[in-house]
Every structure is written in C-alpha cells, then in structure tokens.
Structure 1
C-alpha cells in the first residue's frame, strides 16, 4: 500500500514518569500542578553541586519480573512499561501479531533515547575495574545500545515493518513520533508504536550537566527548582521516564472500531546551524520548524489553542521558543494557552518528546491545558510573547475542532514540532 495522504490517529497512550507509573496518574499530576522533583538521597549525590532530580514515581522492579529486568537497561525498562500500557490501551495484546489481530508486517516501532544505556555502560565499567573481566554481564552490549529500548518494544509488539531509533538529544522522542507518523502516511505501516525514554540520573551525567551550568542548583527547594519563564530560572532539572503512543492509519483504526484520542497532523523539523549547545537566540531555527509544519500539513493556525512548550527553565532557551511562536503566528499566539510541563516532570531529555506528546494528546482529549508551576515572577519577555498557563489548569474550548503543538529542541540545534487535533 502506498500513499502520502493517509490520515494518522492516536489510539493508545502510555507513560511512566516522576508523577506516576502510568499515563493516568501522570496526567492527574500534571493537571493538579504536582512537582515530581525531589532531593537525591543516593550516597554519591553528597559530593555533587546538583543534588536534586525528578526520579521515577514507580520503580520498574515493581512492574517487570526480575529475570527480565536484569537483561534490560533502565531506559529500556521504562520504554517497555510505557509501551505495554499504550499497546493495551489501544486494544491490542502481546499476542496480537501472532493471533493475526494485527499484521506484523504492517507494524512498526520507533522509540528514541538521547543517551541510551548510559547507566549500564558506566556501571559495567565499574564492575570491570573493581571485579575483573569475568564479572562483566554478557548482556552489556544489547543493554547499552541506544536502539535497545526500541528493539525490545519491537519484539513485544511483533513489529516487522521497521524498528528505528532517532537520536537527536532532547528532540529525540518527538522526532521518533514524527518519523512514525511518516511511516504510516507513506504506507510503510498501518500501526506504529512510538515515543521516547531516558534514564540518565547517574553521577557522571549529573556532574557533567552541572559543570556546564545547564542545571538548576536550587538544592534547598527541589520542587520549586524547575521554573520556566520565571525571572529567577537557573537551568533545568534532570528527569527520567518514558512516554509512548500508538499511531494508526485512520482507516485501520476505524475498521477495528478503535477509540481515537486525536489526529496526528504531522511534524515540522529544522536545525539551528548555530551552536552545539546554545539555542539561536531569536528562535529562527524553531520558527523554521514551525513554518515547515504549516507548509507540509493542512493545519489551520486558527485551530491552535494550546502549545506544550519545550520550556526547560533555561534563561536563553525559554524565550527563544516564545519568540519563534510570535515570529510565525504573530498576534495569533494571543489565543495559545502555553504550558511548560517540565516544571513538574523535570527534563526527560530523549524521553521528553514522548511524555509531552502524551500530555498534549490528553490536553486535547480532555480539553484542559496543564499549568506551568513555579512562575512566581514572570519574565517580561515571556509575558510579551505568549499567554503562559500559570498556577492552575485552564479549560480549552469545549466545542469545535481544536489543535495543539508539542515543541522539542535539543543540543546540536535539533528542532521538532508535532501537531495534533481533535477528531
């Protein structure tokens, strides 16, 4: 089957995050304005300049059998938990491909990670140094591979149309979902499970991000540390977890009577061409991605009522994104309800786009925009460029077709914007 005009819809969602062990509890936490950030109690954290993080709410050991968990990096554990929830939510089972409920040759998997199996790599190197060659786990290589999460999810759903792993730093999860949309739109697959995962709360990444002055050092107030658009913001808070969605062609979903959360309209992608870590200050690259989205889809800017912003709580990045929105949409941004959910989940790096896609889809489905918390003193530049949802959740229009954007940007100048709308 070949087509470039197939409509793509979201039929399943799953997540495991600092706010909850599934999509429902995560969404409830977002709407309630709950922070998932807390102090790092591990012994190694005492010597760190940054001693806070948004750690997972439900440990994988409570969900995955120990024999299976030992063969999976923590990032793959998160991905598999979120994928199982999304696959079940879409109405499928682990044996659907075997039973012929879904054609495995028409099923794909695209799960991204910005860093991959970093904890496995570093922990097994410690084993090598301290205990010798023979004690290194024989599972180390498939565990540390960046494509490990996607491969394991692909095996779970029986995917044979293609299993892929985009790696674009903090834009990885969104790029994975954009790639999945194109797999369906171009006829490569009928069903694709897609999202992002990350598990990088470890002494080395914490030290490295801390030394480059990228993370908040507000150790005295963990829950108030991630504060996008606040004048006192001083960097992001590292988070961990995964977010996954099941995408299908509209025809395939309708044929089996599936519940549809939203239409996945499409993606816009660009690169800054500016710096390896600093965003282009005027948001030109981001604006290019936004314009690319509009040029490649039938999205009407008047439909857009909500933006789940990248909003990491960094001084430069937060404002560049809002400038880009204003550059492309002009005064139309006055009716965008802008939420920065990293204020609650922390920054999940390669997992951010997956979790925030789940949040964006649910915002449309329930017609509610989550708040941005910890904005005690709104940056005048943010106030001039966007309508930030602060304090408490905001209702979105209850009638008519509405759309929302999910923005993700990453080191290297990667820009990805996803668009969804109600059906």
Structure 2
C-alpha cells in the first residue's frame, strides 16, 4: 500500500506571547517573554508566583455567555486556536466532505480549573451538589467534541494524552490516519490551562518549577548554567493537516509537508529523563527513519528545552550523539524560553514555530542565556538571545512528557 502525503494548509495559535499565529511569530522573533506575576489565582503563598498566562483573553469575546459556561478555560483556548486554523486553511469555503474531516486533540491534564472549582465547592459545604456540566467540562476529550460540533466534522475524533507530548502525538496520529486514507483533512493540535492553584502547587511539590520570583521574565533559561526549572504556561495551537492531492485539487496554500513522526519511551523514571538521553535519541532517530531522511538533511530543531537541569542536558547530549559533526551545523533553539511550558499544548505550539522557520527563513532565539553550562556541548548552535536568518528546508520539533513519553515531528519545505 502506497502511503499518501500529508501537508500543512493552515494553523492557529493562542499563546502567552500572542493571541493569534502572526502575533505569536512576531513575538518569537523579538525575543519577548510571556512570564509575569500570576493573575489567574492568588499565588501569594506559593513558592512560584508567576507564570506565562494568555493575556487579554475574555471568553465572552468569542462565545456567548451560555456556551462559555459549558466550557473549561482549556476548551475555550482550544476552540479559539482551532477557529483560526480552520479559517486560515479555507476548508469551510471549499465544500470539503465533512465526513472525511477529523479532529484529533492533545491535552495533558484537561479541565483542571473545573475540577478544582467543583471539588472545592463540595469540600466547603459538605453537600454533594455538583454542576451538571462538571464532567463534560473536565474531560480532556471534550475539546475535539466541541470543535466537531461547531463545524459538523464527522471524521476521526479523539484526544491524545501523553503529558507534555500530547499534542505532538495528536499530530503524529493525524498524519498516520491521512496517510492510510482514513481522512482527507484533520484539525489537530492541543490546549492546556493548568495555571491554577493545584497546577502550580503540584509542580512546586515536585520541585519542577522555577522560583525566580524576583525576575519572572528571565526565569525560563534553557541550557543556561543557572536554570532552575520550567515556567508554567497555558494556551493552545491548531494545525490543519491535509492529504496532498486533496489540498492541490482545492487550490489550498501549502506551507510544508509533515514528512516524519517519531515516538519512543525512556522506560526509566516517572519524571526524570534517561540520563544519557536515550529516549530523546531514539525518538529523533525514529522520526528521521519515518521521513526517509538522513541526519545531515536537518537544518533546524526546536528542542523540548524546558529549562530543567536534567532535561536540557539529556536532550542536548542526544542531539550530539545522533547528528555527529552535523549537529554543529543545525540551528537549534527552545521557544519555551519565551512561552514557558504549555504542557500538553507545547508540541503543537512549537511545531508552529518550526513551521515558521521554513516559511520565513529565520530561526527565533533562545532567550535568557547568561552563563554557559560546561556540561552541555558548547559547539551546538542554540541561537542564544538573537534570531538567526537561515534557509530552513527541514525542521524538527521535539516534545517529551512525564512518564518518559517522547514525540518528534519533522516538516519539509515543499
């Protein structure tokens, strides 16, 4: 069976540094940080009192009051990003067969805000009275459900849950379904809204978050010697994947081909990466094999790069090992230095950034680099502090999650 080709025909984003895809890209190039003191809840007594929140987001600008009440913030953010991507792709204007349009969405946690609100309400009153929308708002798979309901898409519809790799897995699943002829178009992506008391408190308890409260904007500093944890972010992203011939037939703008998707497991620890970066090495190797490319053909990698002491070291070691001398010719970066870590939405948001390097020929910076870490290979081109122009023909994006879940996607200029 000959596999079909899969291309990108649209995308949308709602992030801590931009409320649409264009704003997001421009902020990346400027090296803007989305970190600021937390406003979504009172963080006064928390170890970490800042986050990368979506700015100026009012649900009533996007939904009527009745519908907004039926959605957790996680779903609201996802719906807005999906709407932008659908409009960008023009699939609704071209009378596509809705029975062959799917929605596959990633979320690591789902409706955490709703869960908190409902359980606290019960705990404070001792009366088992819950909102009838409690479960539908909370479950992670409700976002693709809402998207399909809004547009009438009857194709494959589900949610991938693999912690921070969730939306990258959604991209890979979507690619495979289109390759196999199970759908013509898939709206895929992810959303996360975990800047809540339990979200921040839980990650603080794990000692995973930066506590640089005196200077939030420089807290996310991937590969820097003084990195002290990730900065929690929220947001959503969506990419329209489409079968190549279907896209050509309707005259769609094609931004790149999704050529490769790799997955692996660390099989090592619940939260810590394999110390030698084995999972990271394998997932990139698998992705290259899936794409049918050699390591020497990669121009850019958007690294997982969360700003954690162990994770950044393991991933950079894996790149040096897999790519050999060519590793030093690859322009690599971590856009989490600006957006923070969007957890289940990180994969798609960073995939959109990788797409931008192909479309625009420039690689956004890794900001907040002050001191080299002598444990990390200094010959790697981390794009520290300033964007770099580069003709990117092949771009990869890594996303790794707690539990040792690893995903990698590869785009090629077409």
Question: What TM-score bracket applies, with the shorter chain setting the length?
Answer: over 0.9
Q: What is residue 181 of structure 2 aligned with on the other side?
A: 187
Q: What is residue 358 of structure 2 aligned with on the other side?
A: 364
Q: What is residue 32 of structure 2 aligned with on the other side?
A: 34
Which whole-Å CA distance do the structure 1 matches of 2:361 and 2:272 have between them?
34
Question: Equivalent residue of 2:102, what SS?
Answer: strand
Taking structure 2 as the reference length, the TM-score comes to 0.96
Question: Equivalent residue of 2:272, what SS?
Answer: coil
Superposed, 1:7-22 pairs within 5 Å as 7-22=5-20
Give per-residue Cα distances to partners, 1:130-169, cap 9 Å, x unaligned.
Answer: 3575863211111101101121122233222210211000
Q: Which of 331, 337, 341 does residue 347 from structure 1 map onto?
A: 341
Q: CA separation of 1:334/1:22 partners in 2, compared to 1, >3 Å: closer, same or farther?
A: same
Q: CA separation of 1:409/1:210 partners in 2, compared to 1, >3 Å: closer, same or farther?
A: same
Q: Does 1:422 align with 2:396?
A: no
- Displacement of 1:66 in angstroms is 2.2
Which whole-Å CA distance do the structure 2 matches of 1:223 and 1:247 have between them?
34
Q: Is the 8 A contact 1:265 1:299 kept in 2?
A: no
Q: Is the 8 A contact 2:167 2:190 kept in 1?
A: yes
- Displacement of 1:40 in angstroms is 1.4
Q: What is residue 149 of structure 1 aligned with on the other side?
A: 143
Superposed, 1:20-419 pairs within 5 Å as 20-41=18-39, 44-61=42-59, 62-93=61-92, 101-130=95-124, 136-384=130-378, 386-397=380-391, 402-419=393-410
Which whole-Å CA distance do the structure 1 matches of 2:250 and 2:56 have between them?
33
Which whole-Å CA distance do the structure 2 matches of 1:55 and 1:279 have between them?
26
Aligned residues: 413
Which whole-Å CA distance do the structure 2 matches of 1:157 and 1:360 have between them?
28
Question: Equivalent residue of 2:188, what SS?
Answer: strand
Give per-residue Cα distances to partners, 1:108-142, cap 9 Å, x unaligned.
Answer: 11111000111111111122233575863211111
Which whole-Å CA distance do the structure 2 matches of 1:150 and 1:110 have between them?
6
- Displacement of 1:243 in angstroms is 0.8
Q: Is the 8 A contact 1:60 1:77 kept in 2?
A: no
Which whole-Å CA distance do the structure 2 matches of 1:418 and 1:212 have between them?
28
Q: Is the 8 A contact 2:40 2:196 kept in 1?
A: no
Question: Equivalent residue of 2:289, what SS?
Answer: helix
- Displacement of 1:367 in angstroms is 1.1
Question: Equivalent residue of 1:392, what SS?
Answer: coil
- Displacement of 1:255 in angstroms is 0.3
Which whole-Å CA distance do the structure 1 matches of 2:151 and 2:267 have between them?
37
Give per-residue Cα distances to partners, 1:364-408, cap 9 Å, x unaligned.
Answer: 1111100000011122333436210011111112xxx71000000
Q: CA separation of 1:107/1:41 partners in 2, compared to 1, >3 Å: closer, same or farther?
A: closer
Q: Is the 8 A contact 1:323 1:385 kept in 2?
A: no
Q: CA separation of 1:288/1:42 partners in 2, compared to 1, >3 Å: closer, same or farther?
A: closer
Q: CA separation of 1:157/1:380 partners in 2, compared to 1, >3 Å: closer, same or farther?
A: farther
Which whole-Å CA distance do the structure 1 matches of 2:41 and 2:132 have between them?
28
Q: Is the 8 A contact 1:322 1:385 kept in 2?
A: no
Which whole-Å CA distance do the structure 2 matches of 1:408 and 1:4 have between them?
28
Q: CA separation of 1:161/1:334 partners in 2, compared to 1, >3 Å: closer, same or farther?
A: same
Question: Equivalent residue of 1:381, what SS?
Answer: coil
Give per-residue Cα distances to partners, 1:286-333, cap 9 Å, x unaligned.
Answer: 111111112222224333111111000000001111111121111111
Q: Is the 8 A contact 2:317 2:377 kept in 1?
A: no
Q: Is the 8 A contact 1:261 1:362 kept in 2?
A: no
Which whole-Å CA distance do the structure 2 matches of 1:349 and 1:43 have between them?
19
Give the aligned CA root-mean-square deviation in angstroms: 1.5
Q: Is the 8 A contact 2:291 2:410 kept in 1?
A: no
- Displacement of 1:64 in angstroms is 2.7
Shifted more, 156-165 versus 315-324: the winner is 156-165
Q: Is the 8 A contact 2:48 2:200 kept in 1?
A: yes
